[in-house]
Every structure is written in structure tokens, then in C-alpha cells.
Amino acid sequence: MEKKLIDRIKDKSATIGVIGLGYVGLPLAVEFAKAGFHVTGFDILADKVKMINAGKSYIDDISDDHLTSVVKSGYLRATTDDAPLANMDCVSICVPTPLSKTKDPDISFILASLDWVRKHLHRDMLIVLESTTYPGTTVEVIQPKLEESGLKVGRDFYLAFSPERVDPGNPVYTTMNTPRVVGGTTKKCTEVAKLYYEQVIPNIYPVSSTQAAEMVKLLENTFRSVNIGLVNEMAVMCDRLGLDVWEIIDAAATKPFGFMRFYPGPGLGGHCIPIDPHYLSWKLKSLNYYARFIELAGDINSHMPEWVVDRITSLMNKQGKAVKGAKVVVLGIAYKRDIQDVRESPALDVIRLLENLGAKLKYHDPYVPQIKWHDGLLKSTKLTATLLSDADLVVIVTDHTGFDYQWIVDNARLVFDTRNATSKVTKNRSKIACL
């Protein structure tokens, strides 16, 4: 059985299913299709499926041309129907894993996908979970449910975990050239999963178990969260000491060993760093262990929007103005530069907090024309000299590379820069206040 699946993967006759067609699943599906595999993408959202089948991408990292090419060639199609899973040889589960309001893991999307797979599970099938989750999910949740079918993992079908490492908007590292970690529930499972991903990703690093692979992803993003929390606290301390945190970081980075550059900001955003460490913290609480670094970093990072608004209030007071009634323009509401993703974006918290203080808010973001806001929509305002000059304060929250920062400073009365985006501005620097 194992040899048959391996042969099909090697000669590209294996059929590929990708469940969840977001920032992780769609790029993966496109890469397998480009490699010559017949890929079926599964999603519960009909609008997404319709756009994919029409060759229209809603993902920053996938162009319409690349998507159209694999759709028209017949190598990629999308559906909301789970029935075609019965014909899949390999299935990657790439669904969201958010947190509940109490910061407990929400694996409901994984469980829903699992119901689909379990319904159509057959011999000689590989299932790989890519969604970030707590260590033990694959063997404690997925394996028992699949084995209820009577099929045995490692004998009748193969099960593995391979954490996604997507960095939306990264021009250098993509799905294809970012090394992959793979861990199977058995040695054979690891071997089959490794071969599967090697068809589109050259560098595969196998680990001893699914639990190890799950932990790898949590370490990666906990490392980033803790270091961002450290540098965010450093920004607060430098402000109290009257120092420029950006100067301090640049000077420290001249050390050729023992220091890695991280930057402060208005808070954490995106689908990983604000969320993933809490999966590990939650798991450890069940083992009577308190993950102090994770909790402290999460506390610091989650309160950065409040600190930003405190700084804004102070700046306005120095100008003899109150935040209430002030005209404030927020530049950038995506969670990071040059993408359209607003998930967990700190800009949303900054806007909400300023609104609560009575500020009159407008925003501009070339990547985000509108967002759902309260019971309606908040729409991006056209960026003009008049918009800037009429504002009491312009707040740079997302440092899109397309912004002309010198022009922005020239036309604004006062600019609060949370990203050090104005570092190269040479004129009118007296108008700028940095985080």
C-alpha cells in the first residue's frame, strides 16, 4: 500500500486536496498545481470558491495570472462540496485556529474539516494538518477520530503534522522556498509526508513526532512574541528616560553576535504571533505550569495600542488641544506593510480607543478600501494634501512602502509615527513625534 502511494506521488498521479483556501491553503494548492498535480481546493465560503474558479485571487501573495494559469490548465479547481475528498490521495488541512474570547484554543474549524475527511477516509490516504495548534492535537484529537473508521494509522492511512510558515507580503520567502518541518504519527507517516512536500518544497526537515512538529511552530512564534514584547517595553522605558528607542536599537545591532534586531510598534497583528503562543500557554496550564514569558509578553503587546493612544493624548495636550473633537487621520490599518490583511491589526484598537475619547477619525489605506465597523462600514478616505492639512494629527500605524513620507510630513500639522517610517524624512522634522 505504502509503495503505491509513494509511486503516485513520485509520478504526480496522486490527487491533492487542500481544505481551507486562505493565506496558507491557496498558495499551497497553487504550488502543487504548478508542479503538475491535480489539486482540489475545499472551502465553506462559496464566494472564495467562485473567485478561484474564475482565476481571481484574494490573496496578496498569489497573482491573478498565476491563479488563472493553473485553473485554466485544469490542475486546480475549488469546491464547497466535500464529496471529492473520496478521490483524494493526499489532503492538507489549512483552516484557521483562532482563540476564544477567554484565549482558549478554538479548534472547531479543524474538527469540522476532520468530519469531512473522516466521512471519505480510505486506505492509502495521507492526511496532514498544517493549522497551528497545541502539542498533542494530531494524536489526541485527529488520530482517534479517524481510527473510528476501523482503519489504522501507519498501516491503512498516514497522518502527519507540518506547520505552515506563511509570511504574507514577504517578497523573499514564499511557500516554495521556506523550509518545511514534518512530523508523522509513525516513521512511515513521516516518510510519506516528507516525500509529499518535497514535490514542491526542496528543503524538508523531519522531526520525531507530530507533537515535536506542533511545538516547533509554537516556539517560532513565541520567540517572536517575547522579543517584540521586550522591545515594546524598551520603547516605553526609553520614552520615560527621554531616549530614542530607534537609535538604541540601531546602535545595539552593530554588535555582530548575541543580538537580533526587533522593532517596537503599536501592537501585534496577523494570524500567528498574537495567537499562537497562547496555544502553548493553554496547554501548559493543563499540566499545572504557568508560562510566564508568554503571558507577560502577551500582556505587554496587547496593551501597546493603549500606550499609543496615551502618547497621542499627551501630544495633543502639548499642542493645547483635547483629543475629544480633534480630527485624526490614521495612515494604514493592515496589520503589516503592503498587504490587505487586517486580522488582529492594532490599528483597529487604536481607532476604537480614539473614537471612545471623542476623536473624529478618518483612515487611509491603499490596500484596505473598507472594513466592517460597528453596524456598518468604515471606508478609506482618499489621501490628499487637504486631508492631511485639515487634520490635527496624522498617525502612521502601518508603514506601507507606497507612502511618500516626506510629502505627508510637509502637508500635515503634526505626525505621530509608530513605525519609524519617517526616519529618512529630512525636512520639517519638528512636526514628527516617534513611538
Number of domains in the chain: 2
Q: ∠ at Cα 48 (26, 332), nearest 5°?
A: 80
Catalytic positions are 272
Mean pLDDT of 222-241: 95
Does residue 215 belong to any structural domain of this protein?
Answer: no
Query: Which of the listed residues 166, 191, 207 is the one where a domain comes to its end?
Result: 207
Structural domain includes residue 214: no
Give the residue numbers spanning the domain of 170.
Answer: 2-207
pLDDT at 352: 96
Q: If you search the block for the grid coordinates 504557568, which residue do you land on? A: 290
- Judge if 192 and 257 occupy the same domain: no
Q: Is the CB of residue 421 less than 8 Å from the CB of residue 399?
A: yes
Does one domain contain both 271 and 405?
Answer: yes
Q: What pLDDT, on the 0 to 100 scale, is given for residue 423? A: 94
Same-domain pairing of 249 and 113? no
Last residue of a domain, which of 166, 188, 207?
207
* Co-location of 143 and 253 in the same domain: no
Give the Cα separation of 29 and 8 in Å (integer).
Answer: 17
Asked whether 400 and 338 are in contact (CB, 8 A), the reply is yes
| 226 domain residue, yes or no | no
Strands 370-373 and 376-379: antiparallel
Q: What is the dihedral of CA 193, 281, 337, 252, to 10 degrees?
A: -110
Amino acid at 121: L
pTM of this prediction? 0.90
Residues 411, 295, single domain; the answer is: yes
Number of helical H runs and strand E runs in the chain: 16, 15
Residues 6+ apart with CB under 8 A from 70: 30, 33, 34, 39, 76
145 & 251 share domain:
no
Does 224 map to a domain? no
Residue (of 274, 279, 280) closest to 348 by Cα position: 274
In a domain, 221, yes or no: no
DSSP run (H or E) holding 92: strand 90-93
434 near 422, Cβ under 8 Å? yes
| CA atoms within a 13 Å half-sphere pointing along the CA-CB vector of 26 | 26
65 and 15 within one domain:
yes
**What is the pLDDT at residue 368?**
96
**Residue 328: inside a domain, yes or no?**
yes
Range of weakest confidence among 157-166, 274-283, 291-300, 342-351: 274-283
pLDDT digits (tens, 9 = 90+) for 365-413: 999 999 999 889 999 999 999 999 999 999 999 999 999 999 999 999 9
Whether 140 and 259 map to the same domain: the answer is no
Does residue 101 carry a pLDDT above 80?
no
Q: Is the pLDDT of residue 223 over 70?
A: yes
Q: Which CATH number do you get for residue 70?
A: 3.40.50.720
